[in-house]
Amino acid sequence: MLTKERYSIKDMVIWTRKESIFFLLYALMITVLYDVFGFTFLDIPWTPVALIGTAVAFILGFQNDAAYGRIWEARKIYGGIVNSSRTWGMKVKDMVSNEHCSSTVSDDEVRQQIKILNFRHFAWLTAMRHAMREPRKWEIFEKHRTNREWSRKAHIPERISSLKDDLGDYLEPDELKYILSKNNKAAALLYLQSKHIRELKEKLLIWEFAFLSLENTLEELFTLQGKAERIKNFPYPRQYASLSNYFVWTFLLLLPIGLVPEFADIDEALIDDFPKIGSMFIWLVVPFCGVVSWVFHTMMRIGTVGENPFEGSANDVPISTISRSIEIDMRQLIDEDDETIPKQFPEEYDVQM
């Protein structure tokens, strides 16, 4: 996640501990079979293994670059939502007025209309973050045990409270019922916004130019919503993701079989001059294979986690935090009582959600 979290080697090892133990045990098994039991037929020339490793490195680089591109695009989209939201709040506050009204409209009623338009926007932000957190069948974050451990520990707001409960804080019961009946609830909220400002224009609470300006802002919000939905609903191409996984595991399973004979040759070369070191050198293949396998597999997992930047992992875009920050700023700017303004979602392990 693009926040202030701090990663350490310890955190990464814990995150990949199951696979790390497997790599060490697998390398140890190949070494024991080769050196202790004399299974010298476990011998693959190192050159083809190295060529496979080179190809896998290129594939992982492509996957991580594509995954980072999706994360960065998602972050730019939510950066646009921040800007458009502030623009919406500013325009609503200054453009909704009773200055040109033919009938008498009190200042309290004007403030109420401004509040409704702002609160409906908060509902849109809420509907957006809930929609972005909805699982898709191609999302695989929760399929890893350590990822599920993170999900249980992390404060992911959309998994704690329901959309209905969250929207109830911003909408009247009739509007809430209407919105919940629609498949695309965020789009339905923008439709209600457009209908509302048209009614205000007819009452002369908004003049013609202001109406067009507000409609343009709604259009921009629709555009940003569509861009976010494009990332959410179009997965990283599975042929690349699947083949990357197969190629990496092929290389990792061949790695000890290719390295053990190489270390055995070094062992024989050293044993005459350095008998103590030479007799044990072959066993260094175990930590060496463990480190190399851990690097390749961890890079693959980083790319896999980054494919879907809205799932709620520690590396994802903190859409809940961003949405709540927008709400806090806008409510302060319309001079709401600080006691009524919700608090920011808590951080877990220095990670924003």
The Cα-based distances of 122 to 16, 189, 193 in angstroms read 38, 10, 12
Which H/E stretch holds residue 147? helix 145-153
Q: Which of 61-75, 82-96, 150-164, 245-259 has the lowest mean pLDDT?
A: 150-164
Q: How much is the pLDDT for 1?
A: 45
Mean pLDDT of 135-155: 72
> What pLDDT is attached to residue 3?
41
What Cα–Cα distance (Å) separates residue 65 from each residue in 17, 40, 68, 232, 296?
25, 40, 5, 18, 15
What would the mean pLDDT of 243-270 be, rounded to a whole number? 88
pLDDT band for position 9 (cuts 50, 70, 90): low
Q: From CA 192, how far away is CA 83, in angstroms rounded?
A: 21
Task: Please say if the pLDDT value at position 177 is more than 60.
Answer: yes
**What is the structure's pLDDT at 4?**
39
Q: Say how many residues make up the chain.
A: 353
Mean pLDDT is lowest, of 2-6, 197-201, 295-299, for 2-6
**Which region among 71-85, 129-143, 166-180 has the lowest average model confidence (pLDDT)?**
129-143
Cβ distance 190 to 123 under 8 Å? no
- 116 Cβ contact partners less than 8 Å away, ≥ 6 residues apart: 196
Euclidean distance between CA atoms 151 and 160, whole angstroms: 11
% of the chain residues with pLDDT over 70? 89
Between residues 312 and 27, the one the model is more confident about: 27
For the segment 325-348, the average pLDDT, to the nearest whole number, is: 89
Whole-number average pLDDT of the chain: 87
Range with the poorest average pLDDT among 124-128, 196-200, 233-237, 325-329 = 233-237
Q: CB burial class (10 A; 0-12, 13-18, 19+) of residue 151?
A: middle
For residue 281, the model assigns a pLDDT of 79
CA 349-295-236 angle, to 5 degrees, is 75
Torsion of CA 308, 314, 316, 320, to 10 degrees: 120
Residue (of 253, 336, 307, 265) closest to 52 by Cα position: 253
The answer, yes or no, to whether residue 18 has pLDDT greater than 90, is no
- Spatial contact of 55 and 250, defined as CB atoms under 8 Å apart: no
**How does DSSP classify residue 8?**
-
**What sign has the CA pseudo-torsion 175, 178, 181, 182?**
negative
Given pLDDT bands bounded at 50, 70 and 90, which one contains residue 7?
low
The per-residue pLDDT for 23 is: 93
**Domain-wise residue ranges, the chain:** 9-340
Residue 348 phi/psi, 5° resolution? Answer: -115, 120
Residues 6+ apart with CB under 8 A from 183: none
In the structure, what pLDDT confidence band is assigned to residue 82 with cuts at 50, 70 and 90?
A: very high
